[in-house]
Chains A and B, each alone.
Chain A
Amino acid sequence: MKKEQMVVTKHEQIADHIFQLTLQGELVSEMRNPGQFVHLKVSDGSTPLLRRPISISEINSKKQQFTMIYRAEGAGTQLLSKKKVDEVVDVLGPLGNGFPMDGIIEGQTALLVGGGIGVPPLLELSTRLVSKGVKVHHVLGFQSQKAVFLESEFIALGNTIIATDDGSYGYKGFVTDAIKDNGLEFDTMFTCGPTPMLRALEKLYGHKPLFLSLEERMGCGIGACFACVCHTGNDPTGTSYKKVCSDGPVFKAGEVVI
Chain B
Amino acid sequence: MLDVNLPGLSLKNPIMPASGCFGFGREYSNLYDLSQLGSIMIKASTQEPRFGNPTPRVAETDAGMLNAIGLQNPGVEKVVSEELVWLEQFDLPIIANVAGSQVEDYVYVAEKISQSKNVHALELNISCPNVKTGGIAFGTIPDVAAGLTKAVKEVSDVPVYVKLSPNVANIVDMAKAIENAGADGLTMINTLIGMRIDLKTGKPVIANKTGGLSGPAIKPVAIRMVYEVSQAVNIPIIGMGGVQTVDDVIEFLYAGASAVAVGTANFVNPFVCPEIIDQLPEKLKELGYEHVTECVGRSWKA
Asked if A182 lies at the interface with its beta carbon under 8 angstroms from chain B, I say: no
Partner of B270, one of A92, A231, A246: A92
CB of A217 within 8 A of CB of B27, answer: no
Of the 9-residue stretches A112-120, A153-161, A162-170, A222-230, which lies at the interface with chain B?
A222-230
CB-CB nearest in chain A for B31: A1
Q: Which residues of A contact B281 (CB under 8 A)?
A: none
Whether the Cβ atoms of A1 and B30 lie closer than 8 Å is yes
Interface 1/0s, chain A 80-111, versus B by CB < 8 A? 00000000000010000000000000000000
Interface size on B, residues (CB 8 A): 41
CB within 8 A of B216: which of A49, A216, A223, A224? A49
Which of A15-23, A40-48, A121-129 lines the interface with chain B?
Answer: A40-48
User: Contact between B50 and A239 (Cβ–Cβ < 8 Å)?
Assistant: yes
Q: Does the CB pair B51–A238 fall under 8 Å?
A: yes
Contact, CB under 8 Å: B72 / A219: no
Residues in chain A near residue B62, CB distance under 8 A: 47
Q: Which residues in window 2-55 of A have CB below 8 A to B?
A: 3, 41, 46-51
Most interface-central of A3, A222, A223 (chain B CB within 10 A)? A222
- Chain A: CB-nearest residue to B23: A224
Q: Is A220 an interface residue (CB 8 A)?
A: yes
Report if A192 contacts B (CB, 8 A): no
B294 to chain A, nearest CB (A): 29
Choose one: B27, B30, B72; the contact of A220 (CB below 8 Å): B27
Considering the chains assembled together, what is the distance between the CA atoms of A103 and B187 in angstroms?
Answer: 51
Chain B residues with CB under 8 A of A49: 60-61, 63-65, 215-216, 264, 268
Q: A46-B63, A218-B58, A219-B67 are in contact. Are A226 and B216 (CB under 8 A)?
A: no
Cβ–Cβ contact A219 & B216, under 8 A: no
Name the prevailing secondary structure of the B interface residues.
loop
Q: Which residues of B contact A225 (CB under 8 A)?
A: 20-21, 23, 58, 67, 69, 267
Given known A-B contacts A219-B67, A226-B69, A229-B52, A50 and B268 have beta carbons under 8 A apart: yes
Give every chain B residue within 8 A of A246 (Cβ-Cβ).
Answer: 27
Q: With A49-B64, A219-B67 given, is the CB distance from A3 to B23 under 8 Å? A: no
**Majority-rule SS of A interface residues:** loop
A220–B263 Cα distance when bound, in Å, is 11
Known interface pairs A49-B215, A220-B270, A224-B23; A230-B55 also in contact (CB < 8 Å): yes
Q: Contact at A216–B55, with CB atoms within 8 Å? A: yes
B216 touching A46, Cβ below 8 Å: yes
Contact A229 B72 (CB under 8 A): yes
* Interface membership of chain A positions 228-250, coded 1 if the CB is closer than 8 angstroms to chain B and 0 otherwise: 11110000001101000010000
**In the docked arrangement, what's the CA distance between A229 and B71, Å?**
12
Q: Point out the residues of chain B lying under 8 angstroms from A41, CB to CB.
A: 268-269
In the bound complex, CA of A227 to CA of B26 (Å):
16
Q: Which residue of A lies closest to B25 (CB)?
A: A224
A219 CA to B43 CA in the complex, in Å?
A: 15
Known interface pairs A1-B30, A51-B268, A220-B267. Does A239 touch B51 (Cβ–Cβ under 8 Å)? yes
The CA-CA distance from A73 to B75 in the complex, in Å, is 40
Asked if A224 and B21 sit within 8 Å, CB to CB, the answer is: yes
Q: Known A47-B62, A219-B65, A219-B67; judge A224-B55 contact (CB<8 A).
A: no
Q: Are A50 and B65 in contact (CB under 8 A)?
A: yes
Query: By the criterion CB–CB under 8 Å, are B60 and A48 in contact?
Result: yes
Complex contact B59–A217 (CB within 8 A):
yes
A184 to B264 Cα, complex, angstroms = 47
Contacting B215 at CB < 8 Å: which of A46, A76, A220?
A46
Query: What is the chain A residue whose CB lies nearest that of B51?
Result: A239
Shortest A186–chain B CB gap in Å is: 30
Is residue B271 contacting chain A, with contact meaning CB distance below 8 A?
yes
Interface centre among B49, B58, B61, B216 (most CB of A within 10 A): B58
Complex interface residues of chain B between 188 and 247 (CB less than 8 A to chain A): 215-217, 244
For A46, the chain B residues whose CB sits under 8 A away are 63-64, 215-217, 244
**8 A-B pairs closest in CB distance:** A224-B23, A239-B49, A46-B63, A220-B267, A217-B56, A224-B27, A227-B58, A46-B216
Known: A217-B59, A219-B57, A239-B49. 17 other contacts (CB 8 A): A1-B31, A3-B269, A46-B64, A49-B64, A50-B60, A219-B58, A219-B67, A220-B27, A220-B267, A220-B270, A221-B267, A223-B27, A224-B22, A225-B58, A226-B72, A238-B51, A239-B74
